[in-house]
Each structure stands twice: as structure tokens, then as C-alpha cells.
Amino acid sequence: MLYSKTKWHSPVADPVQSRELARRLSVSPLVASLLAARGMAVPEEALAFINAGTEEEHDPFLLKGMKEAVPRIKKALQEEEHILVYGDYDADGVSSTSLMIYLLRHLGASFDIYIPHRSGEGYGLHNHALDWALQQGVSLIITVDTGISACSQIAYANELGMDVIVTDHHEPPEVLPAAYALINPKLPGCPYPFKGLAGVGVAYKLAQALLDGKVPEEWLEIAAIGTIADLMPLLDENRAIVRRGLKSMRRSKYAGIRALLEVSAVSVENVDAVNVAFAVAPRINASGRLDHAGRAVSLLTTDDPVEAERLAGELDLLNKERQMVVERIVAEAISRLEERIKDGRLPGIIVLAGEGWNVGVVGIVASKLLERYYRPVIILDIHPETGCCKGSARSIPGLDIYEALSSCSELMDHFGGHPAAAGMSLHLDNLEAFTSALEEFALGVLTDEHLVPVTEADGEYALADLSLKAAEELELLAPFGMSNPLPKFIVREAVVKETRTMGQGNRHLKLVLQQGGATVEAVAFGKGELAELLPPGTGIDVLAELSINEWNGSRKVQLMLKDLSVPQPQLFDFRGVRDAAGRTQRLWNLLLPQTGGRQGLAAAVVRKDWLKEQELPECQGMTFWVYDQYNGISPVDNLPGEDDGSHVSLLCLLDMPETTQQLDALLQTFPEVENIALLHSLRQERERLLVPTREQFKMLYKWLAAIAAVPVPEQEALLRLSRKSPMSLRMLRMMLDVFEELDFIRREQGQLSFVTRPAARDLASSSHFMRLSELAEMEQYFMEGSPSELQEWMESRRLGAS
């Protein structure tokens, strides 16, 4: 039994609505059910969504402040004023700044740009930057993706005689800055119908207003990058911006975009929103995280292919460096956390701080720890000289991290954010109190239910529904991103037909799944270690995305596995493995972390002499047991608390039972075991027991009549018998036990003698015969039986013993 990493939840689409959509729109039942499940059950709404394009554009002058901003910018153009574009260092800020450069170049403006350094200056407007702008002769500042909260800075700009036009999309504060114009769809009283624009989307609307709607189509490529990278909802106008932007990008004339796609190993002709999110955006963001975002702006605005290639290469190297920095900090953070939680109890909110933890990547580190532990996480970088701690938080749906920070605001110098993510700074002296206050807050908010991650799926389907035609038709719903995610499908009761690993170090998993007459290949990146838990024949449930695999002109459907589970108990066959203890540790690591929030325990069972030969592997939460001649099975003195084995979910047999009584005791001791791993060594065939037959006993009786007519040393008799018989010495000894019990032979002082004319006795009346039969049957299953045969036989023993 293998538990999924998350709990899967899927809506149930109304079948009547789905059928009507399929009929009215001429789409497949699968696409119709997806539209209905996503709230587009009315055919007209669904059709508008599918055909999203220019009709989704809203009048830019509906944005509050646009009517004041446009004349002021036109005046600056006419009077040849020097304009400053003030941006931000993330991908949205870089895109917004780049779009404004194209706009001001197009208008023939005199301008400069300014983007603050992430670690050296931090987010937002800064007075020293305004002083620099004044020295450059700037009289008009246009902010992009920033400025809506910069009250004091804009007041300072006004004192210096510079007008400020703010274009932003962040949540406006209660007190707004006294700017010449504020353009933000989220402003109170703003009639703009769509509130989900990115910063670059607001900049694009400004360009539309200044150019009377005649914006070059290729500028949408820049707008699409920022919209996708900033995780804006791909609905309404954003859907049109991204769809048209991607279409233009597939034949892009921008040297920078082409170079960026090439260095990201993305085909220009086939680029989609997923490529932008996971290949393009991280490289742009790497510039602002580890260097200065100006390098990314230069890339997006150059028309020189040679310079573009150089800059794209630099961003790629910065991204690789960013990945290594993140990996290092994640490893250090996990190590510190594991030392802190040796009792196994995670804090409600994980707070970790360290020197040299690059403040530009602490948000990524927090996200990775959240994914691993599913707890709200705060990662802080400590300045070694000042003791200032700057960090980022990421949270789960059950806890509003902004509310949590607000509850201890007096301990911080600054903080801000929203329910899912936040940033903060505080002094090292307050770190312990800060951590304790957040832990106390979490105790009052989080329940066990909150700590089980949930993945939203789009429905349960059969493999036959996930056809090549269905995969092709999904493009009607693209582009995919926030608020319009790539569909995820649940398939239950599929069967694994083939299992293999692929990629460097066998990191990835590839399965062939079958359900009824349908067979589909499935790939799970980073899950290669699960291959040994999914042998052919395993029943499996999967959560997957649907894709098309193209190779050498051939196109076939392929599932991209996001999660999987095996809903029935499993028996893993590692018989004869060399390092049984090491494999036990590996299984522990693979199986128990997958228990979906359950507190799983593991047990390993060995012979007593095994303990003398080897040291017990150190596995926290694993108990060790030994086979016992009298009690069947007994614990080694390492049981946690009063645990009696009833909660064990993983049972590792490092040795097979020596008697059927021990097997029955094993099955009774671990009644709720979900997975059993066979790790025992295999006896040489010559040493194994055979299920005894009457013919074998008849033959042995004849040989004994000849060999032991007069008393003979038993050892000598055994050697002579072994030369005549293919049976092992173990088998022969146990057969002699049967004959002795039936008075067919006598054993005295090491001598063995044959009894002539014994009383007739039935073999079945011998307890030794019954023991040999049972033991030989058990050994045959444990040594030679297939996993399914052994599992079925053990289950029959369990039922018989219960």
C-alpha cells in the first residue's frame, strides 16, 4: 500500500450540462465536463472563453487615473522633458520596465530607467534614487509594478519638483500617495471591469491609451511573460494578452526572447505558458535575485542577436548558480530543522534563520520546505554585522501568514504580504520571541485537517477517455496557468504492466498502465526510486496531466504523473538481497513519508543469531523483533512507549520464520500491517525442505531396512542416505523424527537401528509428519512462491489464525 502525497479532490460536473455543452460547442465530453466543472456551464460563456482574443480588451480609459496620466505624458513628450521609468526587480517588474522602454522609444522620448538592487536597496521607491533622478534632469517619473504604497517617497519627489505617475497592480493601502496620477485597477472606485492585471498589464493599458489602441502586436510577448511569471489569473483580459503574446512569441522578432528560449531548450515554434513559467521566468528572476535586474531588461530590449546570446547565457549561468544556492540553503535548513525535531514533532510554523542565506532566494527555499513538510515556513537571512534578519514566508491554506505576522508586529521592523506569502525584517535579538509568538498563534489556528495537503483535480476518468484526440482538444482551453490550471485527471484501478526507470541516475519513473482495453504510457519525474515498489501487476490510482509525446514523427498520448497511490496491501519481493539492513532503511524512507498525514510505524523481524552478527540499523520509529522458540515472536528492547505492534504499517522480514507457529504469531502481532517486505536470504536448493510424500517415506523405509538392520551411527546413516537421495540432510533428519515417533526406528546413544515388523501406523498420526509438511509448505512459499502466491497463502494463514 502506497499513500498519495496529497489528498485528491475533484468536482463532479453536471452530466446534463456537460452533454449540452458537448452538443452546442461540438467538443468532446471530456472538454465539456472540464468547462462545466470550471464554472462555464453556459454555452455562450464557454464559447467566449474558448475564443478569448481581442474582444476581451477593455477600454484603457476605464482605469481610474488614466485620463490624468495621458495628457501629462504627452505634455512631457512635447516639451522634451526627461522621463524616468522606475521599476521592480522581479520578472513582472522587468517586463513592465521593458515594455515602457519600447513605448518611450516608439514615442521618441528622452528617458532613463531605474530598478533598485534587491539585496542592496530592497523593494519600492527610494529617496536616494529620487535625488539621482533630479541630478539627471528628470521632471516626470512613471513607476511600473511598484509605487502604490510609496506615500513618503512620492511626497519627497513632489518637494523636489518631480511629478509621479504610478502604474501598479498591488493592493492599495488605506492612505494613498499624493501622486500626479494613480493607475491601478484595484483602487477604490476604479470602474475597470478586470482587477487581475499584472504590473505589465497595467503598463500595456497605458501604452494602449497613449497610442489610441494601435499597440504593436509583438509587445504582447513582453506582457505575456510578466503576466505568467507573476502568477496572475489567466482569465478575462489576461487570457487574451497571454494567448496573443504566445502566438506572437512563436515567430518572435525579439533577439532577446529568441535567445532566452534557445538557452532554455524551448522550441520557439511550440512555446507555451508552461515553458514561460518554468524556463523563461526563472532565468529573468535570477538576474534580480543574484545580480541586478537591469541585465534582464537589457536582454528583453536589445535588437543585437550577438548581445542577446551573450546576455541570455549570463542569465542561464545565474539561474544555475541560483539553483545551487537554493539547494545549499535548503540542505542547511533541513539539517537544522531535523536536529530541532528529534522527537518527531514539527512546529506549527517553521522558522529558520542563518547567515549567508541569500535574501534573494529565501522565498524559494521557504516554498521548497513547505512542499516537503506542509507547514507554513519562514526563512530568514541574518546579517553578520548588524544582526538584521530579512526573510520571506510561504503558507498553507489553513493559516493566513499575514494575520500571523500581524499578531506579533511589535517584534518586527517591517512586514507585508498576503495570506499565502509575506516578507519581513527584524533584529536577531527578537528572533526567539518571534518564533515563540508564531508557534503560539499556530496552535490556536491549525488543526490536523489543515495539515493534510489537498490537490484539486478536474474529475475521475477512465484511461480510455484520455485519448490522443482529447489531448489535442485540450488546447482549446489553453493557455494554462493561475485560475486556469493544466487539467489534472484521476484514474483509479489501473494496472501496472511495465515498470522502468530513465534519466541520469535513474531519477525518473516510466510506467505502462492498462485499464480494460486501453494502454497508456506514464512518466513521473523525480520518482524513479518508486520503481521497486511498483512491480508489474500492481493495482494503482494516479493523478496525472495529459500530454502528447512526439518522437520521430509519431504522436501518442502520455500521462505526466503528479501523484500516485496503491490502495491495496503489498508484498515486496527482495528475497536474497545482499544488504537487507540497508534495504530496510530504504523502504522505511520510501514508504512511511508517503502516509498522507498518518503516523506510520515500521518493524523488522530477525533471528536471534542475526543480532549477534550485525548491528541494528538506526531507523527512528522502527521497532525490532526476534523469532522466539516459545512465544513465536518477541520484541527487542527498543519499543517506543507501550506499542505492541498493532500500529505497524510496514513489516520487514530480514529472516523467514523458522516454524509455522512463528509465522502465525507474526501475523497476529501485526494485524494492521499494510506492506510486507521479504528480505530473507535464500537457502541453497540442496538444503531446502520438500513437501513430503508417501513415496519418499516408502523409499526411505527400504533404505533404512538395508542400512540399519544392525545399529549404525546416525551420522553415518545420514551420509549414506544422502548419497542415495536428492533430499537435504535437514529433510532426512526430520523424516527420521517421524519414523522414530512411529516406532519404525530407534535412536540410542547416537546409534540408529531399524525396527523389524513394527506396528502399522499412519503417517498422518505423527505430529512430526504434520510439522514437516507445514514447514516444507511454508518454506516452499517463502523460497520459491511468487509474491502473489505467498501473499494469498499468508492471508489464508492470517484468517485461520484470527
If asked whether residues 76 and 128 sit together in one domain, one would say yes
If asked whether residues 237 and 291 sit together in one domain, one would say no
Alpha carbon distances (Å) from 665 to 254, 637, 655, 762: 73, 18, 15, 30
DSSP letter for 2, please: B
- Per-residue pLDDT, 595: 42
C-alpha cell belonging to residue 619: 531507523
If asked whether residues 441 and 462 sit together in one domain, one would say no
Omega cis (within 30) before 479: yes
Query: Which structural domain, as residue segments, surrounds residue 523?
Result: 458-565
- Per-residue pLDDT, 643: 55
- Per-residue pLDDT, 596: 41
User: What is the Cα–Cα distance from 1 to 651, expressed in whole angstroms?
Assistant: 12
The tens digit of pLDDT for each residue in 718-759 reads 999 999 888 989 899 999 999 999 999 999 999 999 998 889
Whether 18 is covered by a domain: the verdict is: no
Show which of 241, 276, 297 is a domain's final residue: 241
Whether 532 is covered by a domain: the verdict is: yes
User: What is the Cα–Cα distance from 604 to 676, expressed in whole angstroms?
Assistant: 10
Q: Reading across the β-sheet that carries 421-427, which strands appear in turn?
A: 350-355, 377-382, 388-394, 421-427, 414-417
Q: What share of the chain is helix, strand, coil (3-state, %, to 5)?
A: 45, 20, 35
CB-based contact 222:256 (threshold 8 Å)? no
If asked whether residues 198 and 114 sit together in one domain, one would say yes
Which CATH number covers residue 359?
3.10.310.30
| Structural domains counted in the chain | 6
If asked whether residues 700 and 672 sit together in one domain, one would say no
If asked whether residues 710 and 574 sit together in one domain, one would say no
Whether 518 is covered by a domain: the verdict is: yes
Whether 334 is covered by a domain: the verdict is: no
If asked whether residues 143 and 188 sit together in one domain, one would say yes
Whether 317 is covered by a domain: the verdict is: yes
- Per-residue pLDDT, 108: 97
User: What is the Cα–Cα distance from 88 to 150, expressed in whole angstroms?
Assistant: 13
SS3 per residue for 649-692: EEEEECCCCCCHHHHHHHHHHCCCCCEEEECCCCCCHHHCCCCC
Q: Which of 493, 677, 674 is nearest to 598 (CA)?
A: 674
Whether 546 is covered by a domain: the verdict is: yes
Whether 777 is covered by a domain: the verdict is: yes
Q: Which of 771, 766, 763, 696 is nearest to 728 (CA)?
A: 696
Bridge-based pairing of strands 648-653 and 675-678 is parallel
- Per-residue pLDDT, 579: 85
Whether 61 is covered by a domain: the verdict is: yes
Q: In which residue ranges of the chain is pLDDT below 70? A: 53-56, 342-344, 592-600, 610-621, 637-644, 801-802
Query: Angle at Cα 185 formed by Cα 179 and Cα 186, nearest 5°?
Result: 85
C-alpha torsion sign, points 139, 143, 148, 151: negative
C-alpha cell belonging to residue 75: 505634455
Show which of 453, 485, 511 is a domain's final residue: 453
If asked whether residues 385 and 306 sit together in one domain, one would say no
Cα 715 → chain centroid: 62
If asked whether residues 113 and 141 sit together in one domain, one would say yes
- Per-residue pLDDT, 57: 85
If asked whether residues 348 and 445 sit together in one domain, one would say yes
Which CATH number covers residue 209?
3.90.1640.30
Cα 791 → chain centroid: 31
User: What is the Cα–Cα distance from 127 to 133, expressed in whole angstroms?
Assistant: 10
**Amino acid, res. 509:** L
CB-based contact 421:401 (threshold 8 Å)? yes
Most distant CA atoms of the chain, gap in Å: 131
- Per-residue pLDDT, 56: 66
If asked whether residues 353 and 495 sit together in one domain, one would say no
**Kind and range of the H or E run holding 46:** helix 43-50
CB-based contact 391:362 (threshold 8 Å)? yes
First to last CA, the chain: 22
C-alpha torsion sign, points 561, 563, 569, 572: positive
Q: How many residues does the chain have?
A: 802
Compute the half-sphere exposure of residue 637: CA atoms within 13 Å on the CB side of its CA: 0
Instruction: Please tell me the pTM assigned to this model.
Output: 0.83
If asked whether residues 425 and 478 sit together in one domain, one would say no
CB-based contact 31:487 (threshold 8 Å)? no
CB atoms within 10 A of CB 374: 18
Q: Give me the residue label for grid cell 498420526.
A: 765
SS3 per residue for 83-96: EEEECCCCHHHHHH
